[in-house]
Amino acid sequence: MPFVPTPLEGVFVFEPHVFEDERGYFYESFNQKVFEEATGITRPFVQDNHSFSYYGVMRGLHCQKPPFEQAKLVRVLSGEVLDVIVDLRPNSPTFAQTYSIVLSAQNRKQLYIPRGFAHGFVVLSREGAEFAYKCDNFYAPKHESGIIYNDTKLNIDWQVPSHLIKVSSKDLQLKTFEEMIADYQAAY
């Protein structure tokens, strides 16, 4: 299983080897042993989540405050999304930097996001998208936090016209990067 490092330390793109023929295809979407050997990460995943969203739906940018942070391995089962992460780790050389990647059922790529990142995605495909991800820590609602998707400091290009982006009322209440990071770092 090829895990390709990204410019953000500890973040990997997984590009599976797909066996395809006239019958269809097969690939191993996850193998704990191979994952650990390739990345050096030994923390097991404890929760799987699955969602479906329509075109233009924005989910994020979400995180959980320390010590309840979650690492995630995310992928798309149908459709296409733009997946975006933000480095929140206070001592990281890439603090406040973003990374984005198109994940789709067609490219079958997965993104490993370590603890200490905010994460969000927007659906790019007209037919919607099914999104699945593994977490290495349980959901802790009292410790959830996040950054408003249109934060001017981060200035993320979501690749969907702003008037077509659909955001939940809960996510519209998320803080700016500056507000959230002060709260987040206080938890360290």
Cβ neighbours around 66 below 10 Å, total: 15
Is residue 163 annotated as part of the catalytic site, yes or no?
no
Spatial contact of 25 and 18, defined as CB atoms under 8 Å apart: yes
Which three-class secondary structure state does DSSP give residue 174? coil
What are the b/e assignments for 141-154, b being 16+ CB within 10 Å?
eebebbbbbbbeeb
Name the nearest CA neighbour of 59 among 76, 88, 81.
Answer: 81
Catalytic one among 99, 112, 133, 149?
133
d(CA 36, CA 13): 14
Q: Is 17 a catalytic residue?
A: no
Catalytic residue among 62, 99, 119, 184: 62
* Active-site amino acid positions: 62, 133
